[in-house]
Amino acid sequence: MLPYETIQEAGISLGRNLTFAETVWFTYSARKSDYILYCHNTLFLFLFYSLIPLPYMFIELIRSKNTEKFKIQPKFKNSFSDMFKCYRKVMVTFVFVVGPLQLFSFPIIERVGIRTGLPLPSGSEMFWQLLVYFVVEDYANYWLHRLLHSKWGYEKIHRVHHEYTAPIGFAAPYAHWAEILVLGFASFLGPLMVPGHMITFWLWMILRQFEAIETHSGYDFPWSPAKYIPFYGGSIYHDYHHYVGGKSQSNFASVFTYCDYIYGTNKGYRYQKEVFDKTREKFRSEGGQNAESYLFSMQALKSE
Ligand SMILES: [Zn+2]
Ligand SMILES: [Zn+2]
């Protein structure tokens, strides 16, 4: 809740006129409690995990020649009911685990000082904070994920997420409830260490959802803007982790590639990627036969 009655009052307090974005924020948030603003995250969780995977779902259902060449493991096909089952399970976990956790974690957010007032953060403040959140999350996620690949962690918890050897967008948060709690902690670390504005916090959660769905989509589209992010892992990178499954000692990081590089857990992937690039090159030099429907089949690479 903002401590001003009117926009004029807010302007006097800031010593200047409100920008357009600040006026919109004032109009939207002035009468809402900080708790309600924080609860928007729960709404975004349900909304974005329902909406972002939809285009991938239609692409998977249609499986046209135009998109088939971007499918990472073309041998796997998912029907509507397969995908809906996955979605339903994810939503049940959200209702019983993630939602309540978000609603009850407000005192922590309040204590660390995530602010809701004016002025709004500048573009550069948001950029640097989001970068820190991504790097911190990626590092923590790398080690927690690696721990989940211990014998006990895998059998008791992480096995559920690996039920998909060829992931789909809806399967990004498909996991044992304990895994969602453990890895969810990594998402909170950045904002706890470098608290910013509630808008930055919302944006962080939404971008993280976009990233998780894209890396689990099962498709590698060359026009994805994420390709321009330095050290970004992307869908082929994480698909490989799912393909290898429980025995995987490769590609643990959630967003970037540097942790796997530093700790030497990308060797298997690097070898396979090299073979894959050569195979694709061969396909292209032979006039592209089969290349359109055969982007990345690990089964074929294994038999090389
Ligand atoms: Zn894993
Ligand atoms: Zn995954």
| Local confidence band at 291 (pLDDT 50, 70, 90 cut-offs) | very low
* Residue range 67-95, pLDDT digits in tens: 888 898 888 999 999 999 999 999 999 99
| Local confidence band at 292 (pLDDT 50, 70, 90 cut-offs) | very low
For residue 58, pLDDT over 90 is answered with yes
Ligand 2 centroid vs 114 CA: distance in angstroms?
29
| Local confidence band at 280 (pLDDT 50, 70, 90 cut-offs) | low
* CB 186, CB 259: distance < 8 Å: no
Ligand number nearest to the C-alpha of 215: 2
| CA proximity to 175, closest of 141, 206, 205 | 141
Ligand 1 centroid vs 48 CA: distance in angstroms?
23
Ligand number nearest to the C-alpha of 248: 1
* CB 139, CB 130: distance < 8 Å: no
- Mean per-residue pLDDT for 210-227? 93
* Residue range 117-146, pLDDT digits in tens: 999 999 999 999 999 999 999 999 999 999
- Mean per-residue pLDDT for 202-208? 97
Taking the model in full, what pTM does it have? 0.89
- Mean per-residue pLDDT for 194-219? 96
- Mean per-residue pLDDT for 231-246? 92
**The predicted structure's pLDDT at residue 247:** 79
Ligand 2 centroid vs 169 CA: distance in angstroms?
10
Ligand 1 centroid vs 111 CA: distance in angstroms?
33
Ligand 2 centroid vs 251 CA: distance in angstroms?
10
For the chain, which residues make up each domain, given as ranges? 1-31, 42-302
**The predicted structure's pLDDT at residue 194:** 96
* CB 265, CB 249: distance < 8 Å: yes
Ligand number nearest to the C-alpha of 146: 1
